Amino acid sequence: MKKKNYLHNPATLKIDLMLRGTRIDDPVVKAWACGSSGVDIMLPEKTLVNIPCSEEFTRNSPYLIKKKGSGYLITDGASEVEVSLVERPAFYNRRTASGVPLSSIAVVHGSYTVITPSQRCDFFNRSIECKYCAGNFNVTGRDGVVYSVEEVLEAVEAVLKEKASEIIYFSIGFSDSDDGGIEFLKPYILAVKKNFNCLVAVEALPPKKNRWIDETYALGADSVLYNLEIFDKELFEIICPGRATLIGHKRYLEALEHAAKVFPSGTVASHLIVGLEPPGSTCMGIDYLTGIGVVPILPIYRPSANRALRIEPLDTEIILPVYKHLYKSIKKNRINVNWVRDISMVTTPVELKAIVNGPRQRSIVDGFYKSRLGKKTAWGLATLRRKLRVIDREDDSE
């Protein structure tokens, strides 16, 4: 079968690059990618992608990043496309007052900067960690690092000053508590909201009671993610034993459904990893999640040397229909697509438009959302909405 050429459409190219990775022959790009899981490249039409380049599977990639004049190009041997290397944030070279490198606290992924204040996940202490996690994340059990609120604030200040991204994304692993980790994140969220006018997203595990979801919103989180990762129940139990036994597939769906009622449209999301379950099952997950008002985010599984969980065969031709299905489901259920955008690690619904309708023209709405005024408006509206919706019962005393 003739190999398809994806270079002409940045949205499909992004998917193909994330799936196959790239080879690099330029020392500058190599240096960029050193120590990271991938390299951040800006494709045409401002499509941001983090391309795997260090894993084993990338050695066979048809793609190569090459220097051309003062810029770069990506070629598959037959044709090529001009790209640019995303500048590494300057703050990556700085340290906090306590001596912690800012790059180990905050990692920029396009519009999101991910901060994991505690790199602990209790699943590791019980040997029930998610099977894909150990190879991919810098998370450990009991002895994981915990950053102080002050250290995190220094990192956030650096991110925002440099305009590296506009959304601070807190993530936390599993801790055996009813609140899903939100009590732990509380001082961080409150401090960020108190000191900066930025949007905050929280990626946590579903709490046991819905009141913690309400509290997450009331604290100042503008978006929440409870990542189900795998929709198929049996595969979920095998691949995510900790999540399955201590939280449960059903609780994930319940928590997401409640969150979608509390948070604004398009701000509640859940990852479904492409490549760990059959595409049909991912599509069923997409239907279910969009039906309850949740945005499914479809990261592509990056196999590591010792964790080959990927279903085979897996290529772009197989997974493109899944992405198209995602776009149509989101549109059908009228979920706002402007929140989850411009992320290097995943293809976002806004980018999917180009797969369904062909390469896109930037719309005025798009431009507005990316402008300073648009960002300020988003922050203002999110703050106003919270003010209107949150009722503090302790205030209701006589």
User: Residues interacting with other proteins, by CB under 8 A?
Assistant: 211, 214-215, 217-218, 261-262, 385, 388-394, 397-398
Could you please report the per-residue DSSP string of 168-207?
EEEE----SSTTTTHHHHHHHHHHHHHH---EEEEEEPPP
Does 123 bind ligand SF4 (CB under 6 A)? Our answer is yes
Using CB under 6 A as the binding rule, the residues of this chain from 160 to 179 that contact ligand SF4 are 173-174
Supply 141's token pair: 């059990």
Whether 76 and 63 have beta carbons less than 8 Å apart is answered as yes
Please report, as a single letter, which amino acid is at residue 91: F
What does residue 79 show for φ and ψ, rounded to 5 degrees? -135, 175
CA dist., res. 330 & res. 318, Å (int): 20
CA dist., res. 317 & res. 377, Å (int): 39
Nearer to other proteins, 31 or 384 (CB): 384
Q: Which of other proteins, ligand SF4, none sits in contact with 137, Cβ below 5 to 8 A by type?
A: ligand SF4
- Which one of 70-78, 126-134, 268-276, 371-379 is the stretch in contact with ligand SF4 (CB under 6 A)? 126-134
Of how many residues is the chain composed?
A: 398
Q: Which residue has the tokens 């401090």?
A: 191
For residue 292, CA distances in Å to 122, 321, 333 come to 29, 21, 9
In the set 137, 196, 368, 379, which binds ligand SF4 (CB under 6 A)? 137
What does residue 47 show for φ and ψ, rounded to 5 degrees? -95, 115
- Which one of 90-98, 130-138, 180-188, 293-301 is the stretch in contact with ligand SF4 (CB under 6 A)? 130-138
**Nearest approach, Cβ of residue 121 and ligand SF4 (Å):** 3
Nearer to ligand SF4, 132 or 369 (CB): 132
Does 121 bind ligand SF4 (CB under 6 A)? Our answer is yes
User: Which residues, listed in sequence order, are joined to residue 51 by a DSSP beta bridge?
Assistant: 39
**Nearest approach, Cβ of residue 397 and other proteins (Å):** 7
**Nearest approach, Cβ of residue 294 and other proteins (Å):** 16
Give the pairing of strands 199-204 and 223-226: parallel
Does 129 bind ligand SF4 (CB under 6 A)? Our answer is yes
Nearer to other proteins, 193 or 302 (CB): 193
**Nearest approach, Cβ of residue 392 and other proteins (Å):** 6
Q: Which of other proteins, ligand SF4, none sits in contact with 121, Cβ below 5 to 8 A by type?
A: ligand SF4
Nearer to ligand SF4, 121 or 199 (CB): 121
Q: Which residues, including other chains, have CB under 8 Å from residue 71's CB and lie 6 or more apart?
A: 82, 83, 84
**Nearest approach, Cβ of residue 388 and ligand SF4 (Å):** 33
* Binding residues for ligand SF4 (CB under 6 A): 121, 123, 129-130, 133, 137, 139, 173-174
